[in-house]
């Protein structure tokens, strides 16, 4: 199968169907409060189909809270999140996953077992065979598992993990374990992939390799990517649009070049003054 092969059991679509273009992800006036603290204050942005949209800002800006809203781990006090015609605002995380949103986390979350075992977990929401059919290894369930495993192997190859397919995750390097989590999210066959600091803790070579993989995945699968990352070099290379948050408020948005030159971004994110100081 190719990288655009049919998605077994894909949500409400007919078997084998794939949207030619992912739906628009629209975040409108999202506000989140925790015990009187406003973590997000009327945040709005739009992720265009097939684009890479970066969320940046200093620590405490609200980026992780925003990701938690997008993935259903946090319900906003106001505002809406829509993926095409579907309202994601107040539905459970597993329903959001079925609708086509997958995410990674800042900290590596893997289980014991091989790379293949971990990636197969990402196919769970796409599996049609019930527990009993799978446990009894009925012919239909066995065929479906074979299809899923073939697709998982393709995704491992796409992200550069093919040589480690049957390797226990505990034996992998830090960078490879981060890519296992990335690949597992891809195994959901998402329309929108939320990447939470995908190169955090990596050395320069691992960061460059991961950046290449993200670019290749976006190009080959045509999905949309929402990226939270402190590595500004990676953000500026990969992002089509950037939204800047500061203390939970949207500061500005635009292309990487526009955002990089914005004086308030220099002040809030880089600690630079908004205007040069006068020489006495």
* pLDDT band of 5, cuts 50, 70, 90: very low
Candidate ranges 55-59, 83-87, 90-94, 109-113; pick with highest mean pLDDT: 83-87
What pLDDT is stored for residue 145 in this prediction?
Answer: 75
Query: Domain residues of the chain, as ranges?
Result: 23-97+219-272, 101-189
Helix (H) or strand (E) holding 25: strand 25-34
Candidate ranges 4-8, 82-86, 137-141; pick with highest mean pLDDT: 82-86
Tokens matching residue 228: 């939270």
pLDDT tens for each residue of 131-145 = 444 545 555 556 777
Q: What percent of the chain has pLDDT over 70?
A: 82
Please give the Cα distance from 105 to 149 (Å, whole number): 24
Residue 8 pLDDT > 60: no
Q: pTM value?
A: 0.83
DSSP one-letter code for 129: S
Assigned superfamily of 101-189 = P-loop containing nucleotide triphosphate hydrolases (3.40.50.300)
Q: Does domain 23-97+219-272 have CATH number 2.70.98.40?
A: no
Closest listed residue to residue 190, CA positions, set 27, 70, 275: 70
If one counts every other C-beta atom within 10 angstroms of the C-beta of residue 151, the result is: 24
Query: DSSP of 89-121, one letter per residue?
Result: TTS-HHHHHHTTEEE--SS----SSBHHHHHHH
Q: Are 176 and 164 in contact (CB under 8 A)?
A: yes
pLDDT tens for each residue of 40-70 = 999 999 999 999 999 998 888 999 999 999 9
């Amino acid at each position: 199968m190719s990288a655009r092969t049919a998605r077994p059991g894909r949500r409400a679509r007919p078997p084998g169907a794939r949207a030619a273009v992912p739906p628009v992800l629209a975040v409108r006036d999202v506000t989140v409060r925790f015990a009187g603290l406003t973590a997000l204050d009327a945040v709005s942005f739009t992720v265009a189909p097939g684009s890479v949209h970066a969320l940046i800002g200093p620590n405490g800006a609200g980026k992780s809270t925003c990701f938690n809203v997008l993935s259903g781990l946090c319900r906003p006090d106001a505002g809406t999140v829509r993926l095409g015609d579907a309202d994601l605002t107040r539905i459970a995380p597993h329903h959001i996953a079925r609708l086509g949103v997958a995410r990674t986390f800042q900290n590596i979350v893997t289980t014991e077992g091989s790379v293949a075992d971990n990636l197969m977990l990402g196919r769970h929401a796409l599996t049609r065979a019930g527990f009993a059919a799978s446990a009894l290894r009925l012919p239909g369930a066995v065929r479906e598992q074979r299809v899923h495993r073939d697709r998982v192997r393709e995704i491992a190859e796409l992200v550069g993990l093919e040589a480690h397919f049957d390797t226990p995750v505990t034996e992998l390097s830090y960078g490879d374990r981060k890519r296992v989590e990335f690949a597992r999210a891809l195994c959901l066959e998402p329309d929108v992939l939320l990447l939470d600091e995908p190169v955090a803790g990596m050395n320069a070579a691992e960061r460059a390799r991961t950046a290449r993989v993200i670019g290749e995945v976006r190009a080959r699968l045509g999905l949309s990517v929402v990226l939270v990352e402190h590595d500004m070099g990676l953000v500026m290379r990969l992002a089509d649009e950037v939204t800047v948050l500061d203390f939970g408020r949207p500061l500005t948005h635009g292309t990487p070049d526009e955002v990089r030159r914005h004086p308030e971004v220099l002040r809030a994110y880089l600690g630079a003054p908004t205007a040069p100081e006068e020489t006495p």
